[in-house]
Amino acid sequence: MRSISIMTILAAALLSWPGADARGTEVDGTIKLGGVIIDEQAGDLSAVQETYNLEEGFSFTQLRLNGNFDPKTYFSLDLANVNLRNRRGEVEFRVPSLLRFYGRYDQWRQVFDPERTVTSDRKDWRFGAIVTPKRWFTLYADYGYVSRAGDRLAFPVGTTSVFGTRYDYALHTFRVEGEVHQGPRTFALAYDHSDYRDGLSEVADRKGFVASGRVFTPCRFDERLTHFVRAAYGQSELDYSGLDYTIQNIQYTGVFGPIYRVQLRYSFFANRTDDESTELKTDDFRHDVDATYFHRYGSVFAGYGYETNDDDRSLTSYNLYTVGGSFNYRQRVNAKVEYASRNKKDLEKLTLLKDVEASRLLAKLTVQPIDRLTIGAQAKQRERDFPDIGVEAEGLSANGFARYEYEGWGSLGGEYTYTADEYDDLAGDYETESHVVTSRVVLDRIPGVRLGGGLTYLDVGKDLDIEKSIGFVEAEYTFREDYHLELKYNVYNYDDYILLDRYYTANIVWINVAYDFRTP
């Protein structure tokens, strides 16, 4: 509550902005109040993550404000689940072309045990501003605060960890960036700072910074060529031991368009990481080139990359290939085929994994035969082999979907995804196969009434045996123009047929009344 109170105070501060001339102020908004009814039957209350933050009882579901003080000053505030443990909010204030201030808050409870007694809460704050005092200069500033507190269980249960059985940490981050534009050129300098404090273990406290710069400019001699250069220097240090590591990197990307339909691109990346703990200086160099031919009906592209990684102890190199094409016809047909591979060579055979061969083949097709109907399909095959240590992993994913909209009636949509993953090493193998169906229907046919429903069903087989489903129906009735009655019913079901105690069923009903208001 305290967090949202701060958000509300901020909103009030915005409303008292000097520009808030009562005569020019216009506000519209929504206030939504209601309640939640929960009926659970479970052997494991941690089985369905979607229910971790639901609470039975009264709910201050939403407060939304949107408006302007005069024609040039705008604000918005959106608070959700104000009295619940998954409360969140966003606030924004903006003067177009001069200032934008934003703030955001959310929190989330994680549940670890079947009784839902071992939990931790994560809270996330963000504030920032973007100021453009001159057309050629923009200043960005951003502050973030993430904290986590509560209990935890080691995984698997029964093991121990020096992290203990509790969370109590906070991360503060701050970023400031100045960006200068001059014609088509951009130059920016940024500074990032982070500070991590662990309330349970001072040896984990650390702070770090990254100072970086970037330049973006067309070539002085040929504007068909654009240069992009970025460089960074950073350090992260443990307070207790003084141990640190540093990074230094520089990146260049050049994009050249000799003719409009052709684009050539070259990227270079060099990075050094100096890690006191491993006593290794790791140098990473990457070169990537690619070419794309654009046609009004699609594109064809191909690329090659070469990378070396040298940490004084071992030297590895990588070859990367990609080739593919896309086809687009009047936004009615979109198709894409792409193959990519990445092969690692351990030149001295000193790394643990030694050589690695990885590849991916992707094909997708989306068709819109009529304006109201979209149909699509996608398939992806992945392989990853570690020939020297006898490990193979491969996965297949195939997906199909359809959406249909009929004005005045509503919409209907659904998708099906099949995945199969297989993993083998010298000790054993592991296989899973899953079917996932999601669907949703919305009916707008009756004036003032909106009806919806849907289902998510997941079936995981082979070495696992899990079924999970979430079904919902919802209805919204608008009366007296500005009032809305909302009803929503969800049923959650989870069954693990191997871990038999891990089952969960819940029937949950939300009832809300919303009122839309606006200044005359």
Partner 1 sequence: MLALTLSRHDTAATDYPPTSESCVECHDDALKSLTGTVHAIDLDAEKPGVWCTSCHAGDPDAHVDDAEASPMAHPARLDARAEAAVCATCHASSHQQNMMEWNAHAENAVNCSSCHLVHGNDNLRLLAQREPELCMECHPSVEGEFSRSYRHPVLDDVIECSECHMPLAERSRTPGFRGVGDVCFQCHPQFRGPFPFEHQATVSYSTEEGGCLNCHEPHGSDQPRMLKQSYEAPHFATCSQCHLVPTHQFNVQHGSQWAGVACNQCHVDIHGSYANRYFLAPDLSLQGCTSWGCHQF
In the window 302-321, what residues touch partner 1 (CB under 8 A)? 309-311, 313-316
Q: Between 383 and 477, name the residue whose CB sits nearer to partner 1.
A: 383
* CB 508 to partner 1: min, Å: 14
DSSP bridge pairs for 456: 438, 470
330 forms part of the interface with partner 1 (CB under 8 A): no
Q: Between 326 and 484, name the residue whose CB sits nearer to partner 1.
A: 326
Q: Between 157 and 446, name the residue whose CB sits nearer to partner 1.
A: 157
Binding segment toward partner 1, per CB under 8 A, in 15-23, 418-426, 477-485, 511-519: 418-426
Q: Are 113 and 46 in contact (CB under 8 A)?
A: yes
Structure tokens at 72: 């040039």
Restricting to residues 433-492, name those near partner 1 by CB under 8 A.
Answer: 434, 436, 438, 456, 458, 460, 463-464, 466, 468, 470
Residue whose C-alpha is closest to residue 184's, from 128, 129, 255: 255
* CB 83 to partner 1: min, Å: 17
Give the C-alpha separation, 23 to 29, whole Å: 18
Binding segment toward partner 1, per CB under 8 A, in 33-41, 63-71, 441-449, 477-485: 63-71
Q: Tokens 């160099």 sit at which residue?
A: 285
Q: Are 290 and 267 in contact (CB under 8 A)?
A: no
Give the C-alpha separation, 114 to 390, whole Å: 38
* CB 149 to partner 1: min, Å: 12
Any long-range contacts for 51-55 (C-beta under 8 Å, 24+ apart)? 51/492, 51/504, 51/506, 51/508, 52/108, 52/109, 52/110, 52/111, 52/116, 52/119, 53/84, 53/85, 53/86, 53/108, 53/109, 54/84, 54/508, 55/84, 55/85
* CB 458 to partner 1: min, Å: 6
Q: Show the site string, 127-166: x = touches partner 1 by CB under 8 A, - = not.
A: -x-x----x--x-x-x-x-x-------xxx-xxxxxx---
Q: Map residue 82 onto helix, strand or coil.
A: coil
* CB 372 to partner 1: min, Å: 15
* CB 402 to partner 1: min, Å: 10
Q: Between 39 and 348, name the residue whose CB sits nearer to partner 1.
A: 348
Binding segment toward partner 1, per CB under 8 A, in 30-38, 171-179, 445-453, 509-517: 171-179
Restricting to residues 1-40, name those near partner 1 by CB under 8 A.
Answer: none
53 forms part of the interface with partner 1 (CB under 8 A): yes
Query: What does 182-246 look like in DSSP terms, one character per residue?
Result: ETTEEEEEEEEEEEEEESS-GGG-EEEEEEEEEEEEE-SS-TTEEEEEEEEEEEEEETTT--EEE
Q: Among 83, 432, 478, 507, which residue sits at the site for partner 1 (rule: CB under 8 A)?
A: 432
Q: Between 359 and 378, name the residue whose CB sits nearer to partner 1.
A: 378
Restricting to residues 358-397, name those near partner 1 by CB under 8 A.
Answer: 376, 378, 386, 389-391, 393, 397
* CB 510 to partner 1: min, Å: 14
Cis peptide before 156 (omega within 30 of 0): yes
Residue whose C-alpha is closest to residue 366's, from 418, 329, 325, 317: 329
Q: Among 45, 116, 139, 228, which residue sits at the site for partner 1 (rule: CB under 8 A)?
A: 228
* CB 480 to partner 1: min, Å: 25
Binding segment toward partner 1, per CB under 8 A, in 272-280, 473-481, 485-493, 507-515: 272-280
Sign of CA dihedral 49, 53, 55, 60: negative
Residues touching partner 1, count (CB under 8 A): 151
Structure tokens at 378: 């996608």
Restricting to residues 75-104, name those near partner 1 by CB under 8 A.
Answer: 76, 80, 86, 88, 90, 92, 94, 96-97, 100, 102
Give the C-alpha separation, 450 to 444, whole Å: 5
Give the C-alpha separation, 15 to 477, whole Å: 32
* CB 321 to partner 1: min, Å: 16
Q: Among 119, 186, 368, 478, which residue sits at the site for partner 1 (rule: CB under 8 A)?
A: 186
184 forms part of the interface with partner 1 (CB under 8 A): yes
Restricting to residues 251-270, name those near partner 1 by CB under 8 A.
Answer: 253, 255-257, 260, 263, 265, 267
Q: How many CB atoms lie within 10 A of CB 224?
A: 14
Q: Write a three-state SS string for 91-143.
A: EEEEECCCEEEEEEEEEEEEECCCCCCCEEEEEEEEEEEEEEEECCEEEEEEE
Binding segment toward partner 1, per CB under 8 A, in 13-21, 419-427, 442-450, 481-489: 419-427
Give the C-alpha separation, 337 to 322, whole Å: 11
Restricting to residues 187-206, name those near partner 1 by CB under 8 A.
Answer: 188, 192, 194, 196, 198, 201, 203-204, 206
Structure tokens at 158: 């029964």
Give the C-alpha separation, 206 to 211, whole Å: 17
Q: Between 60 and 494, name the residue whose CB sits nearer to partner 1.
A: 494
* CB 509 to partner 1: min, Å: 18
Q: Among 116, 166, 224, 372, which residue sits at the site for partner 1 (rule: CB under 8 A)?
A: 224
